[in-house]
């Protein structure tokens, strides 16, 4: 959905052809979500079908350019004004893995958490290194956009590290309470307490 709205936002700024649109989308989001031309064409076709975008008259040798219609501008205004819905959580491999690990026999949850935390910290460090290359004072608008995209990834990674700390503490407490290694029933009792 965000690709569709993002492309509409770009076409509301100025007419563009498909290739320009792809370049602009990647440029403005720091290249974090690369698009392929097939995705761009399909999305453009749907935007045209829904009356939000229209092709401009073609010139010889020029690829077809598109612009947002009035309905497209209205749709975009609604998008800016509406918060992004936080619906059902995304299917996340780590939360599935940990949910299964705390109840699976023979899994060392503490070791799993430590290894994951180290890995997530590594990712956080790499993101921070990318941020460090951006001048802090008065970044260019493009740099600011890129920096904010990185911040989003930084905060997500930080949230994961904090959650892993929390998991570690909860599991340790469950072990202490039960006086034995975490087994399915004990861990579940703790989790539901």
Partner 1 sequence: MSARALGPVVLSLRGVTRVHGSGPTAVRALAGVDLDVRLGELVAVMGSSGSGKSTLLNIAGGLDSPTDGTVTLAGDELHALDLKARARLRRRSVGYVFQDFNLIPALTAAENAALPRELDGISGRTARREARAALREVGVEALADRFPDEMSGGQQQRVAIARALVGPRRLVLADEPTGALDSATGEDIMRVLRARIDAGAAGLLVTHEPRFAAWADRTIFLRDGVVVDGTGTRGGPESLLAGTRR
Q: Which residues bind partner 1 (CB under 8 A)?
A: 26-27, 30-32, 34, 114-115, 117-118, 121-133, 136, 146, 154-155, 157-158, 161-162, 165, 168-169
| Contact present, 43 and 3 (Cβ < 8 Å) | yes
- DSSP lists the bridge partners of residue 65 as 17
- Shortest distance (Å) from residue 78 CB to partner 1: 30
Q: Which is nearer to partner 1, 18 or 154 (CB)?
A: 154
Q: Which is nearer to partner 1, 2 or 128 (CB)?
A: 128
- What's the gap between Cα 42 and its chain centre? 21
> Which of 157, 154, 182, 158 has the alpha carbon at shortest distance from 168?
182
Q: Which is nearer to partner 1, 9 or 112 (CB)?
A: 112
| Contact present, 129 and 147 (Cβ < 8 Å) | no
- Shortest distance (Å) from residue 66 CB to partner 1: 24
- Shortest distance (Å) from residue 29 CB to partner 1: 9
Q: How far apart are CA 193 and CA 106, in angstroms?
A: 24
- Shortest distance (Å) from residue 176 CB to partner 1: 12
* Tokens 């936002």 sit on residue: 9
């Amino acid at each position: 959905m965000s690709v569709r709205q993002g492309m509409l936002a770009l076409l509301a700024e100025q007419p563009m052809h498909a290739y320009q649109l792809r370049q602009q989308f990647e440029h403005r989001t720091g290249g974090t979500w690369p698009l392929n031309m097939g995705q761009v064409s399909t999305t453009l076709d749907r935007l045209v079908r829904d009356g939000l975008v229209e092709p401009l008259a073609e010139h010889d040798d020029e690829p077809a350019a598109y612009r947002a219609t009035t309905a497209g501008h209205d749709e975009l205004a609604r998008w800016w004004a509406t918060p992004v819905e936080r619906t059902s959580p995304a299917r996340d491999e780590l939360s599935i893995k940990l949910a299964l690990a705390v109840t699976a026999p023979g899994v060392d949850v503490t070791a799993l958490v430590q290894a994951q935390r180290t890995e997530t910290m590594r990712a956080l460090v790499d993101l921070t290194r990318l941020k460090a290359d951006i001048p802090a004072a008065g970044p260019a608008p493009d740099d600011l956009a890129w920096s904010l995209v990185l911040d989003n990834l930084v905060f997500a990674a930080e949230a994961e590290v904090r959650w892993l700390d929390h998991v570690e503490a909860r599991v340790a407490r469950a072990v202490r309470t039960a006086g034995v290694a975490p087994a399915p029933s004990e861990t579940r009792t703790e989790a539901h307490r």
